[in-house]
Amino acid sequence: MSTPKIAIIFYTTYGTNHAMALEAQKAAEAAGAEVRLRRFAETAPDEVVQGQEAWAAQLDKMQDIQEVSHDDMVWADGYFISAPTRYGNMPSQVRAFIDTLGGLWQEGKLVNKTISATTSAQTLHGGHETTLWSLYVSAMHWGCIIVPPGYADPLKFEDGGNPYGYSTQAGGFDETGKRSVAFQAQRLVEVTAKLAG
């Protein structure tokens, strides 16, 4: 089997999804994938970001991580996306990038890529599942193959049990969560390797 190429792409405001992306990167590389870690561009007005010390500090912390590009989307065999929920949906920063992919979609350059996603929300029931669904709906339009964790490992009964993708409360990414993200990333690599091979 060939070495699968995985783009791990995240958006974060205060750091939870950044932490999940780093855990996914470590697990995907350990599973034998070639990985590109990328972040969605921050599109919020600078005065809004700078008006919240924690948000500004997190953005500053990530300046060495490249923003995701169309080249990354074409390069990858599979995508691991981590983004928080906004009113039960993906953040506008993620949507803004997705909305630029029409040309790649029309050329069929996103077809048969794999995808798996994780999320976080401020509350226990703040749109975890619908955020993941919204990401997957876009991916279905591209012709992607969704690789959810399902209940393929007993760990899913310990981590909150979201079969669509790991989710947690903001700031609540614990050791069980790390194991769950690692499992999900490894599963994505394994399935992608089979398809890409």
Q: C-alpha distances in angstroms, 29 versus 150, 151, 157, 171, 191?
A: 22, 23, 25, 25, 14
What is the mean pLDDT of the segment spanning 70-90? Answer: 96
CA distance 44 to 164: 28
Write down the domain spans for the chain: 5-196
Helix ranges (H only) for 31-109 are 46-50, 53-61, 70-75, 92-98, 102-106
**Res. 11: pLDDT tops 80:** yes
Tens-place pLDDT, residues 98-129: 999 999 999 999 999 999 999 999 888 888 99
| Least confident stretch, 80-84, 96-100, 181-185, 192-196 | 192-196
Amino acid 127: pLDDT: 87
Tens-place pLDDT, residues 126-178: 889 999 999 999 999 999 999 999 999 998 888 888 899 999 998 889 999 99
Task: Quote the tokens at residue 68.
Answer: 């995701």
- C-beta of residue 116 within 8 angstroms of C-beta of residue 148: yes
Amino acid 1: pLDDT: 61
Domain at 5-196: CATH architecture: 3-Layer(aba) Sandwich (3.40)
CA distance 18 to 173: 11
Q: Which residue has the tokens 């959810």?
A: 148
Predicted TM-score (pTM) of this structure = 0.96
Quickly count: other Cβ atoms within 10 Å of residue 171's Cβ.
12
